[in-house]
């Protein structure tokens, strides 16, 4: 009888814990969507796993950055057990997403947490250049981001800035030493990218950089 009673108590305790976790799970992802950093911190202090995945198999930090829930992202980055290097099926990291969306403060915080600036394939610098976010480009370069990083098809950050970013981003990358002569697997250069994007200012800037470095046109 005593053993049976202990078993029942154990089951009740286990069920209570399971229900509490289920409630915390729903509260956590609701707090991420509502950008409620304080609620997230409370849940983490109570023992909730900061790396839990939502029904779409996405962790809270990536979801917060993607949806612009910056208070939620800040709370998660500040929590020591949060893994900042999760990768999506497209090989995107929270740092890459923050760089693309121009979330300068979040980028700084992720870099301070040792988020991978020089991951293989598409890099945070490619994403920052695509968005034309000069401040973020500089932050990544200051943390030793490889300026001529190659994507899977060998496109560089300068190429992305030339077609999708801004002349200011192109100027910064050129001044920081980006090689304007490189070509990707399709044989396209940064000038070709600029022309495809109808970015005349960027194309002229890149052409001027090539002439300055190779005045005899040998490149």
Neighbours of 116 (CB within 10 A): 16
Q: For 94-153, how does the pLDDT look when each residue is reduced to its tens digit (9 = 90+)?
A: 999 999 999 999 999 999 999 999 999 999 999 999 999 999 999 999 999 999 999 999
Measure the CA–CA gap between 142 and 130, rounded to whole angstroms: 18
Q: Which structural domain range is residue 1 located in?
A: 1-83
Look at residues 61, 83, 105 and tell me which one is the last residue of a structural domain: 83
CATH code where residue 23 lies: 1.25.40
Residue-level pLDDT at 199: 96
Q: For 26-52, how does the pLDDT look when each residue is reduced to its tens digit (9 = 90+)?
A: 999 999 999 999 999 999 999 999 999
Q: How many domains does the chain have?
A: 2
Measure the CA–CA gap between 157 and 151, rounded to whole angstroms: 9
Look at residues 83, 103, 119 and tell me which one is the last residue of a structural domain: 83
Same structural domain, 111 and 74: no
Question: Is residue 217 over pLDDT 60?
Answer: no
pTM of the predicted protein model: 0.87
Q: Is 121 left (phi over 0), alpha (psi -120 to 50) or beta?
A: left
Same structural domain, 130 and 38: no
Look at residues 83, 110, 142 and tell me which one is the last residue of a structural domain: 83
Same structural domain, 62 and 110: no
User: Torsions phi, psi of 53, nearest 5?
Assistant: -100, 140
């Amino acid at each position: 009888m005593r053993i049976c009673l202990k078993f029942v108590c154990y089951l009740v305790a286990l069920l209570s814990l399971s229900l509490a976790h289920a409630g915390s799970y729903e509260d956590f992802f609701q707090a991420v969507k509502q950008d409620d950093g304080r609620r997230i911190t409370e849940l983490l202090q109570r023992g909730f796993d900061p790396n839990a995945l939502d029904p779409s198999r996405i962790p809270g930090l990536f979801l917060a950055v993607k949806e612009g829930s910056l208070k939620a992202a800040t709370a998660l980055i500040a929590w020591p057990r949060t893994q900042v290097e999760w990768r999506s099926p497209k090989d995107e990291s929270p740092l890459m997403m923050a760089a693309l969306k121009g979330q300068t403060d979040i980028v700084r915080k992720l870099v301070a947490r040792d988020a991978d600036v020089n991951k293989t394939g598409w890099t945070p610098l490619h994403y920052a250049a695509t968005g034309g976010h000069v401040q973020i480009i500089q932050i990544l370069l200051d943390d030793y981001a490889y300026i001529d990083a190659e994507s899977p098809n060998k496109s560089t950050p300068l190429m992305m800035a030339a077609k999708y970013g801004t002349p200011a981003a192109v100027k910064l990358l050129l001044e920081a030493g980006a090689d304007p002569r490189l070509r990707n697997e399709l044989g396209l250069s940064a000038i070709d990218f600029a022309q495809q994007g109808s970015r005349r200012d960027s194309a002229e800037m890149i052409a001027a950089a090539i002439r300055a470095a190779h005045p005899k046109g040998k490149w």
